[in-house]
Copies of this chain bind each other. A is one copy, B any other.
Amino acid sequence: MQTPPEALPCFSCKARHSPLCSVFDDEHIGILFARARIRTLKAGAYLLHEEERARQIYNTSSGALALERLASDGARQIMAFCYAGDFIGISSGPSWTVSARALKPSTACQWQEADIHALYRDWPKLEERIHAITSRVVEAIMDQLFVLGRKKAPAKIAWFLLFTEARLQHVSGTGGVFTMPMTRIDIADYLGLTVETVSRAFSDLRRKGYIRITDKWQVEIRDRAALAALSGYIQPGTGRRKG
A contacts, CB < 8 Å to B: 51, 69, 71-73, 75-77, 79, 90-93, 97-98, 127, 131-132, 134-139, 141-142, 144-146, 148-150, 189, 191-192, 232-233, 238-243
Contacts and interface: CB of A to CB of B under 8 A. Distances in A.
A142 B79 contact: yes
B149 A97 contact: no
A26 to B, nearest CB: 27
Given A69-B142, A93-B238, A144-B145, 20 more contacts: A51-B240, A71-B232, A71-B241, A72-B241, A75-B150, A75-B232, A77-B146, A79-B145, A90-B138, A91-B139, A93-B139, A93-B239, A98-B142, A131-B134, A134-B138, A138-B141, A141-B145, A148-B149, A149-B191, A149-B192
A187 to B, nearest CB: 12
Nearest to A91: B135
A232 B75 CA distance: 10
Contact of A145 (B77, B134, B232): B77
Contacts of A93: 139, 238-239
B69 A146 contact: yes
A125 to B, nearest CB: 14
A75 B135 CA distance: 24
A150 B192 CA distance: 6
B138 A77 contact: no
A92 B135 CA distance: 5
Contacts of A240: 51, 97
Contacts of A92: 132, 135-136, 138-139
Contacts of A69: 142, 146, 241
A205 B68 CA distance: 31
A139 B238 CA distance: 21
A99 to B, nearest CB: 12
B142 A142 contact: no
Which 8 pairs of residues, A with B, have the shortest CB-CB distance? Answer: A72-B243, A149-B192, A92-B135, A97-B239, A92-B136, A75-B150, A77-B146, A148-B148
